[in-house]
């Protein structure tokens, strides 16, 4: 799915789709042995072209969406959080329905036009077909708009390779997760002095010798129940659950993030309980401002202090803990 979603074409709304169909049909002029024959052949061709364009474009949209059966569990859940799988399936179903209906309508009107006796009737039937085709497509306008939105969202999703050893950076908002990801990987996330800067999952890489590792930046988490978590936080939870071979839990003892140590440590405990089995490295960030007494490793993602040691530890743990396939890290 990761690559196929990049190929989904631009999804037109109902008005654009109808304009496209009618514009193409309007250019058609056929010859005939008399006026009625000419008008009939022209109308038949216009109806076929307009109906076919609508039907084939809708079918193309549906087909371009990746098959859910081939999507990984992580991506399924991520799409469900961001878009709603049922909603997406329903809208794609509506496009499919409309595609078949357009062909059906086309067939009915082609039959009627063939039997028509005079030019007035031919032109009335052609107009009637256009009107009915328009209201058919207008009926699925909301679905087209949702599918267009879904297409854009799917394109934004990061490319994740499940076979590459992966460290997920988690913690409260504003503690410096993105700053750390930027420092240790190829990712260039947005870093800002306010919470909830990161709104989705970001992926970066780093390479040591011939081995490649994946770093996942996540949105900030608050210490609260799963039912209360919003779409943004749920993405972080999914990354922790499905992608992490190792978790780096970043703590901000300076509390300049705006969150207390007590709350941050409570979140750490709940992650430990809920994701038991995934090794967690507890790190204190912003050591350039505040260092507290504790056995935890201290770093400054801002100045780079302590980063080499942390990276060494991450690599050591990733090499020891291979979740995906239990295989060796991929050599590049
Ligand atoms: N002094 C100091 N500031 C830091 C350090 N690391 C990050 N910051 C600052 O803290 C602020 C938040 O950093 P981000 O990396 O955006 O924090 P985040 O955890 O990704 O935040 P969200 O995406 O909102 O969850 C920014 O102003 C950073 O420059 C550090 O080690 N020392
Ligand atoms: Mg961030």
Three-class SS state of 170: strand
* CB distance 300 to ligand 1 below 6 Å: yes
Sorted by sequence, the CB contacts under 8 Å of residue 111 that are 6+ apart come out as: none
CA–centroid distance, residue 264 to ligand 1 (Å): 15
- The per-residue DSSP string of 136-162 comes to HHHHTHHHHHHHHHHHHHHHHS----T
What are the two backbone dihedrals, phi and then psi, of residue 287, each rounded to the nearest 5 degrees? Answer: -65, -15
* CB distance 275 to ligand 1 below 6 Å: no
Q: What is the pLDDT of residue 3?
A: 55
pLDDT digits (tens, 9 = 90+) for 153-196: 999 888 888 889 999 999 999 999 999 999 999 999 999 999 99
pTM: 0.86
Please, how many CA atoms are within 13 Å of residue 303, restricted to the half-sphere of its CB? 10
Q: What is the pLDDT of residue 254?
A: 98
In percent, how much of the chain has pLDDT > 90?
85
Number of domains in the chain: 2
In a domain, 13, yes or no: yes
State which of 98, 129, 156 marks the end of a domain: 156
**What residues does the ion ligand 2 have nearby, CB within 5 Å?**
177-178, 197-198
Please, how many CA atoms are within 13 Å of residue 293, restricted to the half-sphere of its CB? 0
CA–centroid distance, residue 173 to ligand 2 (Å): 7
pLDDT band at 6 (very low <50, low <70, confident <90, very high): low
Residue 332 has pLDDT above 50, yes or no: no
Residue 233 shares a structural domain with residue 124:
no
Residue 330 has pLDDT above 50, yes or no: no
CATH number for the domain including 87?
1.20.120.1190
Domain membership of residue 234 as a residue range: 166-326
Residue 181 shares a structural domain with residue 306:
yes
In a domain, 331, yes or no: no
CA–centroid distance, residue 81 to ligand 2 (Å): 19
State which of 156, 184, 219 marks the end of a domain: 156
* CB distance 177 to ligand 1 below 6 Å: yes
Looking at per-residue pLDDT, the higher value among 70 and 79 belongs to: 79
Residue 8 shares a structural domain with residue 96:
yes
- The stretch 103-122 carries a mean pLDDT of 97
CA dihedral 160, 165, 168, 169 (to 10 degrees): -120
- Inter-residue contact 52 to 25 (CB < 8 Å): no
């Amino acid at each position: 799915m990761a690559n196929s979603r990049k190929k989904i074409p631009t999804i037109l709304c109902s008005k654009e789709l109808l304009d496209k169909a009618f514009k193409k049909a309007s250019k058609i002029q056929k010859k005939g042995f008399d006026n009625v024959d000419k008008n009939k052949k022209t109308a038949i061709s216009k109806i076929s072209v307009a109906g076919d364009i609508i039907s084939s474009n809708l079918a193309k949209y549906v087909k371009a969406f990746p098959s859910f059966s081939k999507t990984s569990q992580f991506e399924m859940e991520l799409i469900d959080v961001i878009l709603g799988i049922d909603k997406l399936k329903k809208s794609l179903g509506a496009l499919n329905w409309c595609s078949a209906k357009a062909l059906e309508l086309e067939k009915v009107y082609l039959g009627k036009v063939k039997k028509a006796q005079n030019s007035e009737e031919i032109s009335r039937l052609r107009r009637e077909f256009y009107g009915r085709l328009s209201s058919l497509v207008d009926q699925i306008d909301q679905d087209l708009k949702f599918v267009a939105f879904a297409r854009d969202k799917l394109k934004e999703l990061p490319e994740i390779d499940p076979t590459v050893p992966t460290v997920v950076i988690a913690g409260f908002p504003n503690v410096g997760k993105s700053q750390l990801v930027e420092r240790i990987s190829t990712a260039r996330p947005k870093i800002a002095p306010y919470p909830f800067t990161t709104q989705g999952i970001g992926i970066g890489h780093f390479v040591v010798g011939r081995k490649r590792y994946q770093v996942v930046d996540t949105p900030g988490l608050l210490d609260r129940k799963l039912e209360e978590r919003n779409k943004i936080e749920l993405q972080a939870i999914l990354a922790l659950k499905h992608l992490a071979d190792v978790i780096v839990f970043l703590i901000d003892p300076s509390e300049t993030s705006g969150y207390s140590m007590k709350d941050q440590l409570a979140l750490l405990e709940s992650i430990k309980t809920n994701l038991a089995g995934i090794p967690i490295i507890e790190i204190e960030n912003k050591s350039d401002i505040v260092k507290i007494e504790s056995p935890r490793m201290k770093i400054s993602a801002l100045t780079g202090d302590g980063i080499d040691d942390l990276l060494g530890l991450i690599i050591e743990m990733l090499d020891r803990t291979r979740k995906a396939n239990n295989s060796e890290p991929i050599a590049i």
